[in-house]
Amino acid sequence: MAWSGESYDRVLHLDSDITIIKHVDELFLLPNTPVAMMRDYGALPNKKVLGSNLILLQPSGEESDRLAGASRSDVRQEEDTEADILNRFYGDSAMVLPHQTYGLRSGEFRATEHRYFIGNTFEHWNPEKVLSEASLVHFIDEPFPKPWVMWPHALYAQEHPKCNDTIYSSGHKKVCISFPYKGTCANDKIHADFVETDKDPETA
C-alpha cells in the first residue's frame, strides 16, 4: 500500500490506465496535506465524490493500518470499491486537485456534453485547448476497452465520433479518432500520435 512508504515524504499514485503527457512535478510542491485527489467529474450530477485514479499522499504507517483495516473482507461492504473506501476517509478533507489538468478522460473527446468537465455552461468546448492544458489522460471510454486490450477495427469504425461543423471543430475529429486507436499500441508515443495524425486505423 502506498501509505506504507514512510521513507518518502510524498507518494503519487497513478492508475495503470493513465498516460502522462506532461511532467507533474508541481504536485510535489503543493502545501502539506495528508491527501490530494480530484473530484470524479464522470459521476456528476448523480454523485459528488473523489476519484482514485490519482492520489498524492503523505505516507503514514498509522494511516496505512487504518485503510488496510477498512479494506478487510469482513469489514468492507461487498460492493465497496477502492474509491468508496477513500471517499469515506477523505471525502470531506482531501485537497481537491483540478480534474481539467489531472483527470481528463479519453472518452471526453467522443462526448457531446462537456459541462461537467468544463465546470460551467458558458465556456465552449475546445479540444485542442483542453489537450494543451492537460498533464495526463485517463483511459475511460466505454465501449472501448483499456489501452492494453486490442479491439476489432469494426468496433472502432462504429464508435468513433460522427463529427460535424455545428458541434465539433476539425481538430476534434482528428483528436478523437487518433487517440483511442493509437492508445492501444504505444502509451509512450500517444501524445505525438494524438495531435499529429488523423490516419484511418484500417490503413495506418
pLDDT on residue 120: 93
Looking at the whole model, is its pTM more than 0.95? no
Mean pLDDT of the chain: 76
* Mean pLDDT (whole number) for 183-201: 35
- Low-confidence winner among 3-7, 60-64, 96-100 (lowest mean pLDDT): 3-7
pLDDT on residue 160: 61
* Mean pLDDT (whole number) for 37-55: 94
Most confident among 4-13, 38-47, 142-151, 188-197 (mean pLDDT): 38-47
Note the pLDDT tens digit of each residue in 88-140.
888 999 999 999 999 999 888 878 889 999 999 999 988 888 988 999 999 88
| 19, pLDDT greater than 50 | yes
pLDDT on residue 156: 64
d(CA 80, CA 68): 14
Q: How would residue 173 be classed by pLDDT, with cut points 50, 70 and 90?
A: very low
8 A C-beta contact, residue 163 and residue 175 = no
pLDDT on residue 75: 67
pLDDT on residue 175: 52
pLDDT on residue 74: 65
**C-alpha separations of 200 from 111, 140, 182 in Å:** 20, 21, 11
Spatial CB neighbours of 162, under 8 Å, sequence gap ≥ 6:
none
